[in-house]
Structure 1
Amino acid sequence: MAVQLGNAVAMRDVFGDTLVRLSQTDPRVYALDGDLATSTKMDKVAEANPSKFLQMGIAEQNMVGVAAGLATVGLQPWVCSFAAFITKRALDQIMVTVAQPKLDVKMIGAYSGLLTGCTGKTHQGLEDLAIMRSIPNMVVLSPADGVEVKKMMEFANQYNGPVYIRLARDPLPTIFDEVSYSFTLGKAIKLKDGEDATIISTGTQTVRSLEAAQTLESRGIRVTVLHMPSVKPIDQAAIVEAAERTGAIVTTEEHTIYGGLGSAVAEVLVENCPVPMLRVAVQDRNSESGSNDALLKKYNIGPENIVHAVEQVLQRKGK
C-alpha cells in the first residue's frame, strides 16, 4: 500500500475521545483510573460522562481486582495506568483474576517504551509486551498511530475477553486512513513492498521503519515494511511469507530486546523458515530519562539504527 504520513496525533488523545464515545454508547463500559487521568487522557471520560468514571487511586492491584469484579456481573471495565505500573504492580491480579477466567477486561498501558516525557526511568515501560504476551488468554496489541488506536478500541469493545493495548505518550505522524483502514486481530499490514529484506515493526517503531526504508531506497536497497499491530496472536503466515520472499528479517520495537516482537518473530522463523535476522530494540540495560532524540540515539533504536541493521543482515544474507 502507498503510505503518506499525515499530521501528528497523540494516541492518548484518541484513546480518551474514543473511550468517552464507548462509555456513552455502551452501557457496559466503565473507565477505571489509577490517579493518572490527566496524563492518560482518561479525564475526558470524567468530564463528559462522570457516572462512568471510577477513580481507583494509586492502587493498581486493587484497580484490577475491582475490574474483575465488574466483569463478572456483565460490565466491561477499561483499566488504564502507565505501562510500567499496570503490567508489573498488578501482574498477579491480571494473571489470576482476569486472564485465568478470561474476563472481559480491557487494559491500557499508557506511556509505554522509552519516550515518556522525562518522567524518569521508573515510569518507562520496556517489558510490557514480554510480560503480557506470556499470559494465556491475553490479546496484546500495539498500534502505530491514532487511527489504529481507535480501530483497536472498537475491536476490543466487541471482543469478549482480556485485551492489552500499548500506547505511546507523544504525537506520532498518522499512517492510516480512517475510512479505509480496518483492524483485524492477528493480521499484519504490509506498508511497503521490497525484495531485498523485510523490516517487521510494531507500535512507535513503524513510523521510524518507514523513514529507514526511505533512506535505504536512496541507497538502492528495497525493503518490505511489515507492521505488526497484533503482537499476540501474531501473523505467522505473513512472517514466513516475508522470510521466504526476501530472505532477511529485521525487527524493531520500542521495548526490551527480550520477549517482545523480536522474540515472537524469531520463534516463528526458527520453527518454520530460518533466515538471517537482527533485532533493533533496547539492549539489556537500564533506561534513563531524557529528550526523545537523546534517548533514541543512546539506546540505538532510531531510523539510522534500523538502516544499519538492514545493511548488516544483507551481508549475512550474502548479497
Structure 2
Amino acid sequence: MTTVTTTAPKRLTTSAMIASFADPGQRTASAPFGHALAALAERDDRVVGLTADLGKYTDMQVFAEAHPDRFFQMGMAEQLLFGAAAGMAEVGLVPFASTYSVFAARRAYDFLCLDAAEPNLNVNIVGGLPGLTTGYGPSHQATEDIAIFRGMPNLTIVDPCDSVDIEQAVPQLAAHDGPTYLRLLRGKVPTVLDEYDYTFRLGKASVLREGRDVVFVSSGLMTMRALQAAEKLAGHNVDVAVVHTPTIKPFDAETVVAQIDTDRLAVTLENHTVIGGLFETVASAVVRAGLGRRVLPVALPDEFLAAGALPTLHDRYGLATDRVVEKVLAALG
C-alpha cells in the first residue's frame, strides 16, 4: 500500500475582498486605525467601539482585543449600529462605529442624519473600502460616499492619505464636538507623510511640496499618488506643488484658493467619483472667490465600476500614477 501525504492549504488570514493599494516594497503600518483607537481608549475611558459584523475588516478587532468590555458587536444592522452609537454619545460616551462606507452611506443615512447629525452628537463613523479600494464591484465600492455625506449638516468628513493621517486624526475626531466620517484605509496602510514635515490638523490643508508649473490638490490615497506623479513629472522638467486636503468638510478654502490663484495648471486628485467630491468642492471654492481659473479633475468616472484586480482597475479608471502623469502632460501640451 502506498501512503499519500497531503498538506492542507495555508489558511488565508485576510479576505481577498480587501486588496492593498501599497506599492511593492513600500513602508506600511498594520491596522493604524485599530491601534490608534486602542491607544486613545487607554487615555480616555469614554471611548467605545462598535461594528456591524465587520470588526476584522475595519481593523476594529484590534480595539476589541484590547478593550473587550468597551466593544459592541451589533450584527449586520447598520441602522442599529448608528442608532446605538448616537445613544451612547447622548450619555457622554465617545463612540467609533465601523462598517463599510457603502453601507454607512447608502443604508443608514437617515439614522445618521436624524440621530447623530441633527443633535450634533459626537458619533464617529468609520467607513471601510472608500472609493476604489476593493475589486468587488459596485456593491462594495463606495465611489459616491462623499457626495452623499457632504450635504449633511454638522458632519465633518476626513479622507486620510496614509497611516500618519489616520493615527493623528483619531484623537482629534474624538475631541471634536459633532459627528465625523472617516474614510478608512485599513490593513497594511502606506506610511508616506512622515517624510514631509507634516502634521494632521482637522479642517486644515497642508502644502507638502512647492512647484512652479502645476499645483495638485489631493485627498486620500491620491495624495500618495500625487507625490509620486510629481516626482515622475520632474523627469519631464515639470515642477509640481502638492496640497493635501484631508478634511473635505469643513474645507480649507483659504489655503487651497491661495494655491490655485496663480498661473499654474491646477489639478484635483481624488479616490471618488468626479461628481460631488473634492473636484466640485474645489471648483465651488474657486467660483466663490471670483477666480477665473481652470481646474482639471483626476477622479473616478460617473458610472458603476467594474470588478477586478485593484491595480488593473486603478490603471483603467485613471488613478494609477502613470495615468496621472499622462493626463498632466497632455494638458500642458
Give the TM-score taking structure 2 as reference length: 0.88
The secondary structure found in structure 2 opposite 1:226 is strand
Equivalent position amino acid for 2:260 in 1: A
Q: Which runs of 5+ in 2 are unaligned?
A: 1-24
Aligned counterpart, 1:8: 28
Q: In structure 2, how many angstroms separate the alpha carbons of the residues matched to 1:178 and 1:39?
A: 28
Equivalent position amino acid for 1:284 in 2: D
Equivalent position amino acid for 2:122 in 1: D
Q: 2:320 aligns with which of 302, 306, 316?
A: 302
Q: Is 1:115 matched up with 2:133?
A: yes
Correspondence list, 1:163-182, <5 A = 163-169=180-186, 171-177=188-194, 181-182=198-199
Q: Larger deviation: 29-38 or 241-250?
A: 241-250
Deviation at residue 36 of structure 1 after TM alignment: 0.5
Aligned counterpart, 1:198: 215
The secondary structure found in structure 2 opposite 1:177 is helix
Higher helix share: 1
Q: Is 1:284 matched up with 2:302?
A: yes
Aligned counterpart, 2:15: none
Give the TM-score taking structure 1 as reference length: 0.91
Deviation at residue 170 of structure 1 after TM alignment: 5.5
| Kept after mapping to 1: 8 A contact 2:83/2:115 | yes
Deviation at residue 178 of structure 1 after TM alignment: 9.4
Deviation at residue 305 of structure 1 after TM alignment: 2.5
Q: In structure 1, how many angstroms separate the alpha carbons of the residues matched to 2:193 and 2:326?
A: 26
Equivalent position amino acid for 2:108 in 1: A
Deviation at residue 43 of structure 1 after TM alignment: 1.1
| Kept after mapping to 1: 8 A contact 2:122/2:174 | no
- Relative distance call for 1:174 and 1:151 in structure 2 (3 A) is same
The secondary structure found in structure 1 opposite 2:243 is strand
Aligned counterpart, 2:40: 22
Alignment deviations for residues 53-76 of structure 1 (CA, whole Å, 9 cap, x no partner)? 000000001111111111111111
Q: In structure 2, how many angstroms separate the alpha carbons of the residues matched to 1:275 and 1:154?
A: 37
| Kept after mapping to 2: 8 A contact 1:278/1:309 | no
Point out the structure with max Rg over C-alpha: 2
Aligned counterpart, 2:63: 45
Aligned counterpart, 1:158: 175
Aligned counterpart, 2:279: 262
Equivalent position amino acid for 1:158 in 2: A
Q: Which runs of 5+ in 1 are unaligned?
A: none
Count residues in correspondence.
Answer: 308
Q: 1:236 aligns with which of 246, 249, 253?
A: 253
The secondary structure found in structure 1 opposite 2:106 is coil
Correspondence list, 1:18-97, <5 A = 18-97=36-115
Q: In structure 1, how many angstroms separate the alpha carbons of the residues matched to 2:185 and 2:153?
A: 24
Alignment deviations for residues 266-294 of structure 1 (CA, whole Å, 9 cap, x no partner)? 00112212212111111111112211210
| Identical-residue share of aligned pairs (%) | 37
Equivalent position amino acid for 2:75 in 1: G
